[in-house]
Structure 1
């Protein structure tokens, strides 16, 4: 009898951010993101110079948890989520640990996209979702084997979820998603009239 099993599984973690930590109010977090964006002239200039849609603090602010207590609360929760995910991944960290490397705000307006990318030099990356209006774009994840499939046929539209070449995940406000940093992902065009707000982050092994 034939036996078929799945090998080399790619894991995706999804949970409410407030499942761990002191708790974060999404409305308060959204207001903080807008306040920071309004005051961050260096970030605004970087976005304009680089044709970045909306706003990101990625290239301008590296100390959000120190500047704003609500971001320190986010990190406290993320530390616990990342530890749980690392345990699920069966990581042997030895005497090391996974620590926050960077954390940044994304405010994506109508029509804005974040093109396909990975997060080099990090171990676990992710996003927590602050504002997701109706029609806001999902997260698009790409099968990491795509470049090696060569002459393989495309998958049928009714293929099982674990065989699809792309997976779209539509998180709710307050969710956190985690994945290994080598996993290619993107944010398709935001079709909502309102802005899509998220906070993204990387963890490294030290």
Structure 2
């Protein structure tokens, strides 16, 4: 029998936000996201100028944990999840820590998408999900080797999950997903009439 094994594994962490840290009230977090979006004129202008559908605070606000206590509680929970994922990844942090670099809100309306991208200069990135109405898009993750497989045939539709070129992770409200920041990902079109709301973040090593 041949010896066939998987090498160079790409890990995806998924857990309920509530597994670590303070309790987060989903309704309060959603209301806080909308309140910030309504008041953030700089963020609204950036979205309009850059053709971003809906709203993101990515380019305008860097102090969400200071503005609303619920975001400070959220960071405490995320810190614990990232520490658990870092342990699974078997990182040698050399006495340093993975610390929050940035945290931002995403409100994606019907028809909105977020094109394929990575998060350079960070170690771990992720998202926690605030509102996921029926029809809201999954997170689409791309095999990092795809650009090197130009001559390879396509995979069978029933291929094992770890062999597929794209994975669609369908999160629920209150889930947190984490991945290494080099992993390319995107949000396909939101087919729901309601907003898809999430809070994304990056952690760096220092």
- With normalisation by structure 2, the TM-score equals 0.99
Residue in 1 that maps onto 2:48: 48
Residue in 2 that maps onto 1:128: 128
Unaligned stretches of 5+ residues in structure 2: none
2:103, 2:136 → 1: CA distance?
22
Q: What is the 5 A alignment of 1:31-180?
A: 31-180=31-180
Aligned residues: 206
Please state how far the C-alpha of 1:107 moved relative to its aligned partner.
0.1
CA deviation map 1:65-116 (0-9, x unaligned) = 1111000000000000000000000000002110000000000000000000
Any idea what SS the aligned residue of 1:71 has?
Answer: helix
Any idea what SS the aligned residue of 1:66 has?
Answer: helix
Matched, 1:19 2:31: no
Unaligned stretches of 5+ residues in structure 1: none
1:102, 1:164 → 2: CA distance?
31
Any idea what SS the aligned residue of 1:101 has?
Answer: strand
CA deviation map 1:28-86 (0-9, x unaligned) = 10000000000000000000011100000000000101111000000000000000000
1:73, 1:13 → 2: CA distance?
20
2:21, 2:66 → 1: CA distance?
17
Runs of 4 or more, structure 1, over 4 Å off, are: none
- With normalisation by structure 1, the TM-score equals 0.99
